Amino acid sequence: MTDTIYKGGAAFIEGKFVPISEARLPVGDWGFTHSDVTYDVVHVTDGAFFRLDTHLDRFAKSLKGYRLDPGYSREEMRQILGKCVALSELQDAFVAMISTRGIPRVYGSRNPLDCDNTFIAYSVPWVDVIKPDVQARGAHLIVSETPRISPLSLDPTLKNYMWRDFTRGMFEALDKGADTAILLDQEGYLTEGAGFNVFIVKGKDVITPDRGALEGITRLSVLDICPELGLEGKIAPITYEDLMDADEVFTATTAGGVMPCSRVDGKIYGNDRPGPISTKIKDLYWQKHKDGWNMTPVNYADAENPFAVTADA
C-alpha cells in the first residue's frame, strides 16, 4: 500500500516526491517569470496510461525545440510518471511532465545558459477541458476575433504555456454565452482551441487543420481509428467557410478525449446534439481503451516498480 498523504495527487519536484498540495515553483524560475517552459500531459484511464511512449516522444521533441535539458533520461522520466500515479492511487488521472528553464545561477542574468533546467511531474484526478454535461449536449463554440499567435514566433507543435491568444478567445466565448473558442490564423485558416484540436466532418471525410495546431495524441488516435469506421481521416487546410459548411464539428484532447460540438458561431449542426459520426468516433475511442489499445497498466501495489509491463501494449 502507498502512503495516504499522496491520495488525491502526487508530484515530483526538486528531486523528491511530495503530495500535490506541497509542490511549489520558485518565483524566480523563468518558467514563471518568462513562461520559458515546456510540458506534456498524458492520461490514465482504468489504471493504465494511454499512449505513454507517444507522449514521451512528443515531450522529447519539445525539449529539443526549446533547448531544455531536464537532467533525467527518458526511462527515468517514465518511471517517475508511473510512480506519481501509483502513489496517488488514482485510477483515472491527468498526468503532467514539465521542464522549466530554471533560476539563473547569476543573479539578474538574461542568458538562458546561466539557468539549470528542471523536471517536474505530477498526477492529479482526471479533468475534462469541456465538461461531460456540455459534451453530452454538444459544445457551443465561437470563432474568436483574436488570431492565433504566428507560428513564425511560436511553434505550435511544441507544447507551451503561452496562452494569451487562447485566454482572450475564452473571454470572448464566455461574454457571448458560449462554452469555448477556436482560433483562426492571420490568413483565415482554422487552427485549434485552448488545449484541444478541432475536426470537421464532411460526408465520409474527417478533417483536422494542417497548420497552427499541436500534433495532438488524441488527434492522432482519431486519424488512426477512422478507417475502422469507413471514414477517411485527413490533415488539410480548413477555412471559415469549410467550418460553416461542415456536417459536424468535434474537438479532441488528452483531457477529455473526443468531444462533440453542436454549435459554432450560432450555427446549429444536425439536430443541435452531437452528430452521429462524432459519436461513433467517440464511442470507438473509449472502447479501444477498454480493449487495451496502446495501454500501459500501472502497478499500484509497488510504487517503486510502477509498470506491470515495460512498453505500450
Phi-psi region of 51 (alpha: psi -120 to 50; beta: other; left: phi over 0): left
Average pLDDT, the chain: 96
pLDDT at 241 over 80: yes
Q: Are strands 139-143 and 37-45 parallel, antiparallel or unpaired?
A: unpaired
pLDDT category of residue 313 using cuts at 50, 70 and 90:
very low
Please give the backbone phi and psi of residue 13, each rounded to the nearest 5 degrees, phi first.
Answer: -150, 140
**Mean pLDDT of the region 106-129:** 96
pLDDT at 248 over 80: yes
pLDDT at 310 over 60: no
Q: For residues 122 and 112, give the distance between their C-alpha atoms in angstroms, rounded to a whole number.
A: 25
pLDDT at 223 over 50: yes
pLDDT at 30 over 50: yes
**Mean pLDDT of the region 229-251:** 98
Output the nine-digit C-alpha cell for 206: 474527417
Q: What is the DSSP string of 142-156?
A: EE-SSPPPPTTTS-T
pLDDT by residue (tens digit) across 156-183?
999 999 999 999 999 999 999 999 999 9
pLDDT recorded at residue 309: 56
Farthest CA pair distance, the chain: 61
Output the nine-digit C-alpha cell for 261: 460540438
* Neighbour tally for 120: CB within 10 Å: 21
pLDDT at 302 over 50: yes
pLDDT by residue (tens digit) across 259-290?
999 999 999 999 999 999 999 999 999 999 99
pLDDT recorded at residue 166: 97
Q: For residues 222 and 285, give the distance between their C-alpha atoms in angstroms, rounded to a whole number.
A: 7
Q: What is the DSSP string of 247-269?
A: SEEEEEETTTEEEEEEEETTEEP
pLDDT recorded at residue 2: 54
pLDDT by residue (tens digit) across 179-216?
999 999 999 999 999 999 999 999 999 999 999 999 99
